[in-house]
Amino acid sequence: MVDHYETLGVPREATSDEIKKAYRRLARQLHPDVNPGADASEKFKSVTHAYDVLSDAKSRQQYDLGPQPSFGGQNFGGFGDIFETFFGGGASGGRSGPRSRRERGQDALLRVEVDLEEIIFGTARDLEVDTAILCETCQGSCAAPGTHAVTCDICRGTGHIQRAVRSLLGNVMTSSPCGTCRGYGTIIPNPCPTCQGQGRVRARRKIPVDIPAGVDTGLRLQMPSQGEVGPAGGPNGDLYLEIKVRHHEVFSRNGDDLLATLELQMTDAILGTTTTLEALDGDVELDIRPGTQNAEIITIKDRGITRLRGSGRGDLKIGIQVTTPTKLSHKEQEVIRQFARSRKAHPPTLTQFQQGLFQKLRERFLNL
């Protein structure tokens, strides 16, 4: 086996500066531009590889430990990978490395109530949420200002502790998270006083939200990276907005259509009339034709809700409810009698049972 220390010509206890100086000296001697020979080129590759291994603290440490024994020194090939899966490192010596303090933040769910008129064209608002934000004192480093995390002297930065376990198959090297650093490979001697070493704090912040037109109760909108910041300044989770549309006293919704009922006097239904109605997005001019019947539907195109997916708007549908006056003056009664006498008599007759107005309107609304 090639000894990287011998390749660079330094002792095993050499410092990183001594290793760097040895590499630079040999690189100048063996570089192909200076020494074009094939032998020099191979030596240059070996020197470069040795420096790559020994210049990195983690790879040098693993190299110094040497190959770990498995199953009493016998080579069982792929069985090491199996034990790594079941024992958290197994025969491979726990090469998965330390866990990172930086983790993705949690997703958050926020319920937002909107009015029916707000979803016709969409709306925007600022929402205040109680969430986790980056600690401004340590900027996510978790350490007090002027300090930093240091390598754990128990696991030497690996995040794991190796132990030899005697089994029926011989000695097996197992690996478990280091109890001192909790698997991070580093410890923080001086935690940030603001966040207590978490890298984040709880605070209220404003989030501008655009609620698109056409949303309905139960719909969830995803806002990527607007959730909680992760531990140690990790990436934000997502924010989900669950929509609830408030009940309106006059208008209701059927898909992208708006529905309402117009109470119409009997005389207006007979003679016809023109009226101005106050819709959710402005006034509507409505022409009532003479002879309008109870439970008829008048459709006003493109005055409903803007479609969430697609283009255009739904319709405004108005159901007619003809009302009969219950209290008349003597003069009004006489006028009605004269009107009745002017028409041919039609005695009351039995016909098929008719559903109530509400049910008839509902069926007509849904079938249009």
Give per-residue pLDDT as tens, 36-60: 776 777 788 778 878 887 888 876 8
Return the pLDDT at 252. 93
- Mean pLDDT to the nearest integer, 85-113: 72
What is the phi-psi region of residue 358: left when phi exceeds 0, alpha when psi lies from -120 to 50, beta otherwise? alpha
Return the pLDDT at 166. 75
Residues within the annotated binding site?
Answer: 135, 138, 152, 155, 178, 181, 192, 195
Q: Which domains does the chain have, with CATH numbers?
A: 1-66 (1.10.287.110), 108-245 (2.10.230.10), 252-367 (2.60.260.20)
Spatial separation of the C-alpha atoms in residues 57 and 141, rounded to whole Å: 21
Name the residue with higher pLDDT: 349 or 258: 258
Q: pTM for the whole thing? A: 0.63
Name the residue with higher pLDDT: 173 or 101: 101
* DSSP SS3 for 130: strand
Kind plus residue range of the DSSP H or E element containing 208: strand 200-211
Residue 298 has pLDDT above 60, yes or no: yes
Return the pLDDT at 178. 86
Instruction: Say what the alpha-carbon torsion angle 25, 26, 27, 29 is, to the nearest 10 degrees.
Output: 90
Return the pLDDT at 337. 86
Residues within the annotated binding site for Zn(2+)?
Answer: 135, 138, 152, 155, 178, 181, 192, 195
Q: Give alpha helix (H) positions in the chain.
A: 4-8, 16-30, 38-55, 57-65, 79-87, 118-121, 266-271, 330-342, 357-367
